[in-house]
Amino acid sequence: MADFLVIGGGIAGLSAGARLAELGSVHLLERETQTGYHASGRSAALFEESYGLPTTVALNRASHDELKAAGVLRPRGLLLVGSRGTAAAFAADMKAMHLTPVTPAEAAGLCPILDPVRVDRAGYDEAAWDIDTHALMTRFTQAIRANGRVQTGAEVTGIAREAGRWRVSLEGGEVLEAEVLVNAAGAWADGVAAMAGVAPLGLTPLRRSMARVAAPQGMSPARWPMVMGPGEDWYMKPDAGALIVSPAEEDPAEPHDAWADDMVLAEGIARFEAHVTMEVTRLLSSWAGLRTFAPDRQLVLGPDPDAPAFLWCAGQGGYGFQTSCAASRVLASHVGGAAEVEPGVVDALRPDRLRG
């Protein structure tokens, strides 16, 4: 029997398990044959401190130093580009993300494929970073294994509360017990709750598609920043000599192994092409992930009000990696750890807020 049983092996579950391993033994369960298979394995992997709602930004800030000390951040930069027709959305993003205005010529110096005819305004943040997601997940996995176990290929078929303990049944007949159950199942988190007899919170998985395309011949994008359109209606990010382009859509979906929608991808690539001098003639690959949000789009971290030994670690949306260090501390603070975040953040993220 473990002290903590974590369901879900994405960045939410791995970071939570690593932090809880400082307080007791941890057993993490992942249904797939590897951790980080779904949304965590399909992330744009950018740290941008001002990205998200105020509580998310607070978690970003509280995570930065630990991510930097872990050596998982690499310089990237974030460039917002716009035109006369997107002036209002551009101004809103500049203010919300605290970007520094740069001239179109300066923007083209940072990303030479930008179309100087279409792009007439830009904003930049030098302090945006690539996250080495593999290294970060490996670090958290090692911390769990120092005081517990990570079990993949573990399909949960039943959850019951008996004699003050959680009993979790796996496909194949294995039964595990723990004092505390942590629900870090991403898009499947409401389903796990229902299985445990806990009321769902109304979490919504939203699909986001991505395409990998070749960079223009003779050009190396390694030092280009991530580029996004106003209102985040598309973005581009360098990736191992190529470019990732996303329409940044948020289409509701049932929990599943997501795939890209060709028509949605085409629309996003068209918006990208409208701002650059290159043409996308073929895709190298494409994929999609499910970014799961609570109704108020804030993370959900803490005990269920009707089942205190059931901890929610859900609703990470697209912020899982950049908030992971602080979010896991907030979760652990409910069972004895220190949150180390700005005042009010812990209470603001409790599941209680979503119970009518």
CB 292 within 8 A of CB 186: yes
Q: Tell me yes or no: is domain 2-45+133-203+295-354 CATH 3.50.50.60.
A: yes
Contacts 24+ apart (CB under 8 A), 334-339: 334/301, 334/302, 334/303, 335/4, 335/20, 335/23, 335/180, 335/311, 336/23, 337/19, 337/20, 337/22, 337/23
Q: How far is 79 from 228, CA to CA, in rounded Å?
A: 6
Among residues 55, 48, 67, 16, which one has the least CA distance to residue 343? 55
Q: Give the residue carrying structure tokens 């382009």.
A: 245
Q: How far is 32 from 329, CA to CA, in rounded Å?
A: 26
Q: Give the residue carrying structure tokens 């970073």.
A: 129
Task: Name residues whose C-beta falls within 8 Å of residue 68's C-beta, 6 or more positions apart in sequence.
Answer: none
Which helix (H) or strand (E) element contains residue 140?
A: helix 133-145
Please report, in tens digits, the pLDDT of each residue of the chain (356 residues total).
Answer: 899 999 999 999 999 999 999 999 999 999 999 999 999 999 999 999 999 999 999 999 999 999 999 999 999 999 999 999 999 999 999 999 999 999 999 999 999 999 999 999 999 999 999 999 999 999 999 999 999 999 999 999 999 999 999 999 999 999 999 999 999 999 999 999 999 999 999 999 999 999 999 999 999 999 999 999 999 999 999 999 999 999 999 999 999 999 999 999 999 999 999 999 999 999 999 999 999 999 999 999 999 999 999 999 999 999 999 999 999 999 999 999 899 999 999 999 999 999 86
- Type of residue found at 288: A
Domain 78-126+205-291: assigned CATH number: 3.30.9.10
Q: Where are the domains of the chain?
A: 2-45+133-203+295-354, 78-126+205-291
CB 200 within 8 A of CB 194: yes
